Structures are given as structure tokens and as C-alpha cells.
Amino acid sequence: MNWQPPPKPSEFAENRLIEAILDERFPVGTTLPGERDLAIMLGITRPTLRETLQRLARDGWLEIRHGHPTRVRDYWREGQLAVLVAMVQRPDQLPPDTIPNLLAVRLALAPVYTAHAVSRNAAQLVEFLQGYIHLPDTPEEFTTADWQLHHTLTILSGNPVYTLMLNGFRGLYQTMGLRYFSIPEARSASHQFYKDLLVAAENVDPPTAADIVIAVMTQSIRFWEKVERHEV
């Protein structure tokens, strides 16, 4: 049996404050309770609270000014990438339109790193995609396979920044992928995408590979809208 160690007090406090901001117990633009009261509410010491608040301020959740109450920032406009990573680790608390916005970003990035992967490492990509020809037709298999493909594409692109960015969304990818690939048409479209991408890689054709990605990513946004409307 693997026992999970309890979170550190600062980690506990950070998680509780982020959750309170996301569910608007502490809405954007409001101020937090005073340090003494907030420490009591969280059940932590004031030094631990100060450490937590400084970290949240660094990431863009809070604004700390000497002599003034701590303000909740507009994290969409003032936050850093760490804010987005923290948000996607809490899929039940995601603000509206977060998933469509993330899909739009993926639509902008995936064609680029895919084209680079085909240009730089077509032979490795061909070998990898050959394992996708007879993919079992289940949401679980497609969720895992799709993540592994995009992770591999970012690595083969030669730009590790793409991989680091993608890694930040792994948990959300797994959770939402199961919902997305519950649609048979989505699995069918992705399977065709894998086969078409294999041909583009065999031909070492980066522009066609990028076009294939654009087409399937555009279609995936429509499929996700179907999920959101509870039509599956």
C-alpha cells in the first residue's frame, strides 16, 4: 500500500485559497481578511500564511501592498502561466469557456509543432504512428494515445518549450479526453487523423501535416461543443 503524505501547511493553505478564489468566495477585486483572521480560518501560523500569500502573489493570484489589504487580482489579465496550471488541476472549478479557449490555443500551436516534428524527425514519427493503425476503439485507449501522440510530437519538434507547456495540462487532458472520446465520431475522426498524419510523415510533408492538424483540431472544437451541450 502506498500512503500519501499529508500536504504541508503552506500547500494546504495555497490550495484552499485558490479554490476560494475560483469559486468566488473571494471574488476578483475584493480583499482578503486580515492576516490574523485568515490564519485562524485556515488553521495555520501567520508565518506560514505570509509564505503562502507571497507565493500566490508571485503567480498572479493576489496583490500585496504594504499597509493595504491583500487584493484578489484579475487572474486572467494579471496572472502568469502558473495560474493556468493551477486552474486545470481543478477541472470541477474551471471558469466558463476555459476548455474552448484552451482548444483554440491548441489549434494555434499544434500545427506548428507537428510540422516541425515531420520536418526534423519524420522517420521516428512514422515508426511511432504505426502503432496507431489498430487502436482499440475505447475512450480510454484514445485518450491515452492522443496524449502520447501530442507529447511525442512536441519532443520531435525539437523545441522543449512545447513539451513543458503540454505537460502542465496532462491531468486535465486525461479527464476531459475521456468525455471527448466518449463520442464515437470523435474517435473515428482522430483515427483518420492518425492515419493521414502517418502518410504525411512518410512523405516528409510538413505543410500537409499542419493542414491535417488544423482540420482535426477545428473539428474537435465542434465535438467538444457537443459534449458541453450534453448531446452525448
Q: Dig out the grid coordinates for 86 from the structure.
A: 493551477
Domain residue extents for the chain: 9-91, 96-228
Contacting residues for 148 by C-beta, under 8 A, at least 6 apart: none
Widest pairwise Cα distance in the chain: 65
pLDDT at 172: 85
Percent of the chain with pLDDT over 90: 71
Q: In the predicted model, what is the mean pLDDT of residues 92-109?
A: 86
Give the pLDDT band (50/70/90) at residue 77.
very high
124-174 per-position pLDDT tens digit:
999 999 999 999 999 999 999 999 999 999 999 999 999 999 998 888 888
pLDDT at 186: 92
pLDDT at 76: 92
Alpha helices in 60-183, H assignment, sequence order: 75-78, 81-88, 98-129, 139-156, 160-167, 170-180
CATH topology of domain 96-228: Four Helix Bundle (Hemerythrin (Met), subunit A) (1.20.120)
CATH topology of domain 9-91: Arc Repressor Mutant, subunit A (1.10.10)
Distances (CA, A) of 222 to 1, 114, 140, 180, 217: 43, 21, 20, 11, 9
Contacting residues for 68 by C-beta, under 8 A, at least 6 apart: none
C-alpha closest to that of 172 among 98, 222, 112: 98
Q: Dig out the grid coordinates for 90 from the structure.
A: 481543478
Q: In the predicted model, what is the mean pLDDT of residues 192-206?
A: 98
Q: CA-CA distance, 190 to 228, in Å (whole number)?
A: 19
Write the DSSP symbol of residue 131: G
pLDDT at 4 over 70: no
Q: CA-CA distance, 116 to 66, in Å (whole number)?
A: 48
pLDDT at 85: 85
For the chain, give the mean pLDDT: 91
Q: Is 70 helix (H, G, I), strand (E, B) or coil?
A: coil
